[in-house]
Amino acid sequence: MSRKLYTFNGGVHPDGHKAMSNGTPIRAMTLLPRYIVPLRQHIGTPARPLVAAGDTVLRGQTIGAADGYVSTAVHAPTSGRVVAVEPRAVPHPSGMFDLAVVIESDGADRAIEFQPLDWRNLDPSALRNRVRDMGLAGLGGAVFPSYIKLNPGGQKIHTLILNGAECEPWITCDDRLMRERAPELVRGIEIMRHALGSETVLIGIEDNKPEAIAALRAAAPAGMEVIAVPTRYPGGGGKQLTYSLTGVETPAGGRSTDVGIQVFNVGTAYSLYRAVELGEPMISRVATITGHVAQPGNFEVRVGTPLSDLVAAAGGALAGASGELIGGPMMGFDLRDSDAPVTKAVNCLIVKNPRLFPAKPIELPCIRCGACAQACPADLQPFEMYWYSRAKDFGRAQSYNLFDCIECGCCSYVCPSHIPLVDYFRFSKSEIWEREREKRSADQARVRHEFKVFRLEREKQDKAEKFAKAAEKSRESAASNAVTPADPDAEKKKAILQAALDRAQKTKETVTPKNTENLTSGVQKEIDAIEARRAKVEEKTESHE
């Protein structure tokens, strides 16, 4: 091609292992008896649940609505009955539980009526609302709500980049998608171009996927350029791909839109096509299951599918499996609980065995050899950031531009001392975030405290003025009345307080456990209701934090 490619610094060449899963077509999965759909599948505020236990739902029905600006909807993957809305295991590095809707399928898989959209004659903002209600989020891994990214805002988005690089080893879901569904994918890109008004459309694909490149070149109309970029991890990082294709560096701390470029994953374009042209909400995605399983490959997986079922669909794990990875080996994380479901973010599940993923060698001291700095695609000095992160000197770690780290893992990959550098950076980053949260709330508290002090001062002044006036009055009356009576108001207040105290003492006694044995069902119900309300308040406070 005639287009000049730019080369970002650093990067590594880990073993691809892609042939293991990219040889077979995308398979469909049989209907499962149970789906678990987390309400937080995207960056931002979790969706607000619209269903409760006992409700029946249809496939594609909205079960969680977008809540706030950075949020998007969640839909039922099949028809059936909601059995619970409760915290469940989710694919998250912490292994923590998060609120999810558990659906028991009725086997009929009845769908709501899908309404295709005539997007060409539609106002872009209406299109975006549709995209939000269809639950679209970026499928590259960051799962940022797509409708926001389709809003050019005040900026001119002259270039639209489609990311089909898929630089992470093992993962092949985008590869298969591009090979098999290129025409539909291209129609999705058309919708994006329409919403953003971009002139240039570039589709970047790493050159280890010749079939995908050929398929897209065949499907792409004039004005869409399919470009093969050299295979080098992390060539599919948003900033890296943008630089490779255009030579433009995304400003630190900013977005590519600041320089007039928007980047979407190819999978998102395909889902956009389904959402807009077919009217089908985002209830499935293509995900790779590979590694130590009987039949590695790609599946069209419904969101909410328990990962253990995905492993089973691939013929099950082979003997000697030693755990699972979500995502690729460079940036993924260990699956803590195989009950966790596939979400919009899950692009790959790798079943590990000790041969493919040997135990990590022991960490030795850093010798400042600089291998990490040479491998870093963000041109950072990881060993300096490590030096201060290790000593928990976050200020200095940050001064070495810690927050420009994209956590691609190249530094850890090349480190001769086998230092888990990225873990140190993740640790430092979350500590710094925590401090910033604290700082924000401290600032808020300071303002509120200062206001309170100011208010008290003002009240005191007011009172003093009133008192001065009163004193003048009383001096006048003092002539006739020698003894000033005690403030009757205060006496009254005291009495009221005492009465309330006594009352409270009584009520307290009634709610102490010794009385709970012989409660009437009515009282019990009341207590339960209060407990539930309290639990909700607590939940709210937690989600606020």
Partner 1 sequence: MENYLLILIGTVFVNNIVMSKILGLCPFMGVSRKLEAAIGMGAATTFVLTLASGASYLVDTYLLGQDLSYLRTLSFIVVIAGIVGFTEMFIKKTSPVLFRVLGIYLPLITTNCAVLGIPLLNVQEQHNFLESLFYGLGGALGFSLVLMLFAAMRERLEAADVPKPFRGVSIAMITAGLMSLAFMGFAGLIR
Partner 2 sequence: MIGSPYTLGGNSTSTIMLKVMLALVPGILAHAWYFGPGIWISLLVCSVFALGFEAFMLLMRGRPLKHALSDNSALLTAWLLALSLPTLAPWWLYAIGMLFAIVVAKQFYGGLGQNLFNPAMIGYAALIVSFPVNMTQWAAPVDLADHALTLLDAFDVVFAGQGSISPDAYTSATVLDTWKTQARLNTPVASILSQPMFGWAGGRGMETVAAMYLLGGLYLFWSRLITWHIPLAFLVGVAASAGLLHLIDPTQHAGPLLHLFSGGVMLGAFFIATDPVTAASTPRGKLIYAGLAGILTAIIRAFGGYPDGVAFAVLLMNICVPFIDTYTQPRVFGHGAGPKKAGKA
Partner 3 sequence: MAAIGLVLGGILGWAAIKLRVQDDPLVEKIDAILPQTQCGQCGFAGCKPYAEAIAKGEADINLCPPGGAEGVKNLAELLGVDAKPLGEGVEPKPKSVAVIDENTCIGCTLCIQACPVDAIVGAAKQLHVIVAAQCTGCELCLPPCPVDCIGMQVIKEDVVTWKWRYPIHMMKRAA
- Interface residue list for partner 3 (CB under 8 A): 40, 90, 92-94, 96, 98, 362-365, 390, 392, 395, 420, 423-424, 426-427, 429-431, 433-435, 437-438, 441-446, 448-449, 451-453, 497, 500-501, 503-505, 507-508, 511, 530, 533-534, 537-538, 540-545
Interface pick for partner 2 out of 36, 101, 282, 378 (rule CB under 8 A):
378
Query: Footprint of partner 1 on residues 336-375 (CB under 8 A)?
Result: 365
Between 367 and 391, CB nearer to partner 1:
391
388 forms part of the interface with partner 1 (CB under 8 A): yes
Q: Shortest distance, CB of residue 271 to partner 3, whole angstroms?
A: 24
Size of the site for partner 2 (CB under 8 A): 73
Tokens of 14: 């880990």
**Can residue 427 be called a binding residue for partner 1 (CB under 8 A)?**
no
Helix (H) or strand (E) holding 457: helix 421-478
Q: Which is nearer to partner 1, 48 or 390 (CB)?
A: 390
Shortest distance (Å) from residue 235 CB to partner 2: 14
| Amino acid occupying residue 133 | D
- Nearest residue to 181 (alpha-carbon basis) of 213, 216, 131: 216
Q: Which is nearer to partner 2, 200 or 308 (CB)?
A: 200
| 38-46, 211-219, 253-261, 310-318 -> range binding partner 2 (CB under 8 A) | 253-261
Q: How far is the CB of 526 from partner 2 (least distance, A)?
A: 45
Under the binding rule (CB under 8 A), the answer on residue 432 touching partner 2 is no
Q: What angle do CA 466, 467, 469 make, to 5 degrees?
A: 65
Do the beta carbons of residue 284 and residue 136 sit within 8 Å? no
The site partner of 388 among partner 2, partner 3, partner 1, none (C-beta below 5 to 8 Å per kind) is partner 1
Among 22, 250, 265, 305, binds partner 2 (CB under 8 A): 250
User: Least distance from C-beta 429 to partner 1, angstroms?
Assistant: 18
* Size of residue set near partner 1 by CB under 8 A: 7
Binding residues for partner 2 restricted to 135-194, rule: CB under 8 A: 158-159, 169
Exposure string (b/e) for 150-184, b if CB count within 10 Å is 16 or more? bbbeeeebebbbbbbbbbbbbbbbbbbbbbbbbeb
Q: Which residue is listed with tokens 């009055």?
A: 473
Choose from partner 1, partner 2, partner 3, none: what does 414 bind? Cβ within 5-8 Å by kind.
partner 2
H helices then E strands: how many in the chain? 15, 17
Name the minimum Å distance from CB 270 to partner 2: 26
Token readout for 465 is 């003025």
Q: Which residues contact 8 (CB under 8 A, 6 or more apart)?
A: 235, 240, 243, 244, 377
Tell the burial category of 268 from Cβ atoms under 10 Å away from its Cβ (0-12, 13-18, 19+): buried
The stretch near partner 1 (CB under 8 A) out of 138-146, 336-344, 389-397, 469-477 is 389-397
Structure tokens at 389: 């992160």
| Residue in 114, 102, 115 with CA at minimum distance from that of residue 57 | 102
Measured from the CB atom, is 19 or 530 closer to partner 3? 530
307's CB contacts (< 8 A; 6+ apart) are 91, 324, 326, 335, 338, 339, 340, 341, 342, 346, 349
Q: Between 193 and 390, whose beta carbon lies closer to partner 1?
A: 390
Stretch that binds partner 1, among 134-142, 215-223, 383-391, 490-498 (CB under 8 A): 383-391
Say whether the peptide bond before residue 234 is cis (omega within 30 degrees of 0): yes
Amino acid at 58: L
Interface contacts to partner 1, rule CB under 8 A: 365, 387-388, 390-391, 393, 396
